[in-house]
Amino acid sequence: MNEQQFPQILTVAGIDSSGGAGINADVATAFAHHVYPATVVVAVTAQNTYGVQGVELMPLAFVSQQFASIADDLAIKAVKTGMLGDASHVRLVAQELRKYNFGPIVVDPVMVAKGGAKLLADDAIEAVRDQLLPLATLVTPNIPEAEVLTQMQINSVADMQQAAYKLQKQGAQNVLIKGGHLLQAELTDVVLMADGTFLTLTDRKFTTKRTHGTGDTFAAAIASQLALGKSLPVAIQLAKAYLVATISTEIIVGHGHGPLNHWIEVQDD
Ligand SMILES: Nc1ncnc2c1ncn2[C@@H]1O[C@H](COP(=O)(O)OP(=O)(O)OP(=O)(O)O)[C@@H](O)[C@H]1O
Ligand SMILES: Cc1ncc(CO)c(N)n1
């Protein structure tokens, strides 16, 4: 491997026609970090800041072909997975990820879009739990996703910690449960590291409806920092700082849940 190669990540996810979430957010985030993003397109959505109007999944063989093309040529240093659509696509992506050594894998188990549209079929949950979580260096569910995966209700930070233990038992090495859906004045994300220690990230909640793609941006920023050689705890904290900056400096696009300001400068540690 040529050490001079530019840092490269792979995002395996869905395209958002309105540009704010999914692969579009991942690509914007990678560029902001001066990291090169390759993409495996699993789904294409007809979507805007109001919601999701349509979804098309790519043929399975074509998803595999995209993986092979990338593996034949690029030097991927970290992976992020996002919207995977249904059980057969989840199983296939897991199978492809097992084939190649693309470095650490950040699994964002995307299930539902901001407007409530399903981005993952109900019968795919088992495949996410059994096939994808054991491959995850880090899994980054929001609270509803963590509830579905662990079959427990989450109403507090203590519940988030308990759910994080369960997700680790299911095979994820490290767990980040995002607290955006917990009704509190402050937002708390809970991270359970592989060594059993907790990291808690607490931030004020900005009053804004422009939060389309926050989860994607957070996970893509973590993958980008990992590709740049940062340790996981440092990558998570730098990614969170970038995310907060993208939320706090609004850009006015669309009429519903608008996209983030991905142009904001990434601060280093
Ligand atoms: N209004 C806000 N102000 C500050 N931080 C926020 C706000 N909304 C979300 N966040 C942060 O963004 C991250 C993602 O939040 P959330 O729990 O909503 O994830 P998500 O539902 O996966 O996002 P999405 O579905 O939009 O991709 C968390 O770290 C959360 O703290
Ligand atoms: C394509 C796509 N992926 C992920 C999300 C979740 O933010 C979304 N809304 N759309």
ipTM rounded to 2 decimals: 0.96
Are 159 and 153 contacting, i.e. CB atoms less than 8 angstroms apart? yes
Interval 51-70: pLDDT, tens = 999 999 999 999 999 999 99
With b for 16 or more beta-carbon neighbours within 10 A and e for fewer, the 57-81 pattern comes to bbeeeebbebbeebbeebbbbbbbb
Whether residue 259 has its Cβ less than 6 Å from ligand 1: no
Residue 267 lies in a domain: no
Confidence of residue 116 (pLDDT cuts 50, 70, 90): confident
Count the domains in the chain.
1
Ligand 2 pocket test target in 110, 112, 246, 260 with most atoms within 8 Å of CB: 110
Residue 122 lies in a domain: yes
Quote the DSSP letter at residue 268.
P
Residue 254 lies in a domain: no
Residue 259 lies in a domain: no
Residue 264 lies in a domain: no
Residue 261 lies in a domain: no
Cα of 45 from ligand 2 centre, angstroms: 8
pLDDT, mean of residues 233-251: 96
Residue 111: phi, psi to the nearest 5? -120, -45
Whether residue 187 has its Cβ less than 6 Å from ligand 1: yes
Beta bridge partners of 15: 22, 44
d(CA 90, CA 138): 17
Atom 2 in ligand 2: which residue has the minimum CA distance? 22
**pTM recorded for the entire structure:** 0.97
Burial class (CB in 10 A: 0-12, 13-18, 19+), 256: middle
pLDDT, mean of residues 260-266: 94
- The answer, yes or no, to whether residue 102 has pLDDT greater than 90, is yes
Interval 157-214: pLDDT, tens = 999 999 999 999 999 999 999 998 887 778 999 999 999 999 999 998 898 999 999 9
* Alpha helix positions (H), the chain: 22-32, 60-71, 87-99, 125-127, 143-150, 157-169, 214-227, 232-248
Whether residue 247 has its Cβ less than 6 Å from ligand 1: yes
User: Which residues span the domain enclosing 148?
Assistant: 8-248
Confidence of residue 99 (pLDDT cuts 50, 70, 90): very high
- The answer, yes or no, to whether residue 231 has pLDDT greater than 60, is yes
Are 142 and 157 contacting, i.e. CB atoms less than 8 angstroms apart? no
Interval 67-86: pLDDT, tens = 999 999 999 999 999 999 99
Are 68 and 205 contacting, i.e. CB atoms less than 8 angstroms apart? no
* Region for residue 206 given its phi and psi (left: phi exceeds 0; alpha: psi -120 to 50; beta: otherwise): beta
Residue 117 lies in a domain: yes
Cα of 1 from ligand 2 centre, angstroms: 33
Residue 31 lies in a domain: yes
Euclidean distance between the first and final Cα of the chain, in Å? 27
CATH at residue 192: 3.40.1190.20
Are 177 and 145 contacting, i.e. CB atoms less than 8 angstroms apart? no
Q: Token pair for residue 218?
A: 């957070």
